[in-house]
Structure 1
Amino acid sequence: MPPKAKSKKSAKVKSSTVVDGLSTDEMSKDQLEEHIIRLREELDREREERSYFQLERDKIQAFWEISKRSLEETQAELRNGHRERDEAEERHRVEITVYKQKLKHVLSEHHDNISELKMDAVASTSLIQNQHTVSELGLRTEVHGLQADFRHNQAHNQNCIKDLKLKHQVELMELANDYDRRIREIEVKYRKKMQSMIDAEGKRRRAEVNEIEDRMKGRVVALMEEHDRALRGAEEYYSAVQTKLLADQKLLKEELAEATKRQARVDRELSAAEQENKRLSASLQDVQRKLPELRKQLDDHNRAKAKMATSRARVKVAEKELRDLTVEHELLLQAAEKVQRERDELLRLQTEAILDVQQKSGLKELLLERKLAALAETVEKKEAQLSVALSASNLDQTAGAGAANKLEEILASKRATIDALQSDLARDCKEYDGLLRSCQEELEASGGPLTHSSFRPSEHILRGRTSLGPASQH
């Protein structure tokens, strides 16, 4: 700012002497007026700058006073901070002493908790082992009972099958005897019927022939008597009616012609009767010739009928056997469904028992893992706090060595506790694997499906938990 003022003053000096290449003496009135106006403007500007610099100086003075006061306040706060730090160090030493006492109490409580956990683990292990033993005995008893029922049902079914076979054989023998008897009766019946038909036909033919012969004989006798009567009448009337001889002769001729016609008609009827007799005899011979063929057809018909009856009997027997087999099949299906339900019930009970054991083992294992994790985290926190306290405090080397030894003893006891819990876990896993193997053997012996996919060995379960552990921690 001061150099700027100098430049303005030098410009002013120059302007008083030379303005736009002209001196003040050489300027005209208008130029001088303009020059005066410019000088006044510069004077006003200089006054404004002077007032501005005075304001800046006042501000700097006020800022310096404020900075001085803040410096004094900061120094006072720094002194207070030093004093508070000394007080905090004193409080920290007191807190370390209190913390040591609390650490002793925590260690004693931790020891008590470990003892309680061991007692709980032993009690739960014995309880689970007793439950497993009872459930295994119950399952073995049920399996033996099912096997005995199955053997009993199998023997009963075999006896039923034998009885049905014997019954079927007896019924078949009875049906065969009945069919033979009925066939013999039918043969006798049809033979008698055929003989009676032959006898009736012969009697009918003989009766017709006799009737025709009697009728022909009667006609011949009637004609002869009629001729005799005519001749006697002619002889009687010949002497009496001489006059009517010609007429009577003519009449007699006519009657003779008529009698001749009648005789011819009678002869024709006789020849027709003889032809009818011959035809009936021929038909009788044809019937007698056809009789073996008819008997053969009758035998074929009887055999076909017998075969049909046999087929019907076989169909009835087959239907009866089918009904019996259907009933037996339904009974076997009901027995199989009952055995299936019992097997499903056993599988359900076994699954529930194994799931219960697995759940209890998993819960126990999870509880132990959580307790181990909590104990490890607590030990780490205590170690960190103790190391911070030891590093922050000004303890001597003897106290530090004693605290370090005590910390090592605590860590050794924690490691021993962890080893004991791990040995308990290994023993429980071994018992679980033994129970799982025994259940699988029982299932395999009873013919049930193995449940390898549902119940895994303890090694797979622990491996899955260890693989899931870091993920859950993250």
Structure 2
Amino acid sequence: MGKKGGKKKQAEPEVEIDPDLKELTIPNVRDRIDALQYRLSKAAKDRNYMQLEKDMVNRFYEITKSEVKQIDAELLNMDRKMEILERDFRVHIKVHEQKVQNLEYEHKEAKHQVHDTGENDVQKERDMHSEQLLKMNKEKLDLKREIRETQLENEGQVKMLIQGFAKRLQNLRDTFDQNHQQLQAQYEEQVEQLKVDLELRRKVEIHEIEERKNQHINELFSNHQEAFDEIKAYYNDITHDNLQLIKSLKDEIYEMKEKEKTNKKKMDLLRQENRDLTKPLEDKLADQRDLEEELKTYTKDKMALKNLKAHYKRLEEQISEAKQEYRACEDKYRKMEKERDDLYKRFRKAVQEIQRKAELGKNVVLEKKLEALSAQFEEKQAQLSEVLSNARLDPTIVANVTKKLEQVLGAKNRQIKDLQYQVHQATKQYNDTIRVYESKLQALGVEQEEIGFEAIQTATSLTPARLVTKAGVGGPAALWRVLRLPEPGALEVLGDFTFYSFMEPSYAAQLMVSYTEVDPSSTRLADGQVVPTSGGRFQDAGQVYFNHDTVLDVNRSFSFKLADVYCVAPIRNKNCGEPCGEDFWAVGKNCCSENGTHFECGDVGSKHAKSGLRLMDNTDVPFYRLAVVQAAGKHKMVSQHPIFFHWLEDPVAELHGWQRKGFRRFAIAMAAAFAISAAALAAALHTMHIAL
């Protein structure tokens, strides 16, 4: 008989358990399981995150690929349309050539027919002409004979007609003379009447023009009344303060005089008492010495009081000047703060757009770094497990040591990553800044060999850096807020000062209009009328090149002092008659005396200086306007729309000089910033290395 059970089932292989796990207690095993589950869930989350990023990249890739296909299809359709148009054009050309050939053949045939017909007609005309010539010769002889006969008859008639015509001519002359005298008298009356009418019309038109002129003058007065009232109020305040000061000084003088009178009375009484006293001579002398000592003390106290009052007056003047400077600085600060906020909004939008575009490339790099770090982590974990198994330590101690070691390594790894990121970021920002700096200097004519800076070798891309500035502004000012370093506030202030002092005025002047051959005093209109040149026509002027007769009238210069001395001098045509405009002014700060003489601003000493560069610093414009008002009052000038310029020989060279100064300061600040950043990063890396 065969076996009943058949073949036995094959035994299942035993699961190999790590010896370290066998030695662990149940709580330790549970802790180990929880830690592994936490790591598993974290790895799953990271994988899901990476998968989402990968799907997003693939979706963007598919969308871009479909757009490329659509564009290729549109290009193919355009090529087909071009081929169809080219084929139709060739057909039209062939039809046109055939029409031209037909027209040429028809023209040739018509030309032959016309030539044959013309020959026949010419021959017929010749025959007819010869016959007519014979007939006309015969008729000519007959006519000559008749003419001789009629000539004799007409001579008598002509004599009779000449006599009759002479009589009629005399009668006509008499009649003409009478009519001429009547017409002359009539037209003289009409001319006199026309003179009266035209004179009346001229007076009416002159009256209308005067009314329009008066209306325009009233409008100008009303438009400028507000500015006049402000200046009037300003000077009224100054006058009021001066009057108050004079009044207080008069009161003090009156008090001092009263005290002096009182003291004189006291002295008289004392002298009278001294004469009237009957005390011994020694007592009188002692009293006299005491009174003299009191008089000396009083004089000293009086001088001290006078000095204190003078010191108090100077302090009040300094306080008033400080208040005015504070108000001006506060207005300037509000304006600059508003411009900073606007520029920061624009720059923030640009940074967000660049971050969105750069995020796609960043995900691929992070995924590769994650794979490399995972491999390193597994290797270190295996090494740690081998060390702990060979040491045969208590599992709880092993778990605690493992946990602490993981925390320390995690913190150090994060610190290393942050420092490496900062190094790459600083290197990237330095290279980007070097490229922008080189392009700007080459555009200004500076050769690359003269720059003296070289880019650092790095693995970063050539796309713009994300964090060139944290609190910077957009546009050209973003280049001047340099790196985010240990002292970002000082560097930002230095960058803003460099940009707003040198770069922004040059950019603004280049964006404004450049005028040439400008007469600063008078302008000839289209109807030939000469009027004063108005500054209102040149409010958008950045660079103005005046004509050859333009001079800087330093003899009529003036100044306005408020801490600094604001100097002005009119720009005018030396050959100008009347009327002359006074709206163009050369200005400068602290380049003339306090009374306005010795004007030495700009290229005033150059004979070739015939141009002006617009003043771009609006903070000084009110003080220059006050100087113009004072100059107009002293020299009896009228300046309705004053425009302020730097008097220069070559404005373009001056603009390039501003830009070169700005780039030099930018290069110095950039080198200092990078040196500080590199030193800080090197110190941090050295400290981390010592800690490890």
More helix as a share of residues = 1
Please tell me whether Structure 1 or Structure 2 has the larger radius of gyration of its CA atoms.
1
Output the TM-score relative to the length of structure 1.
0.27
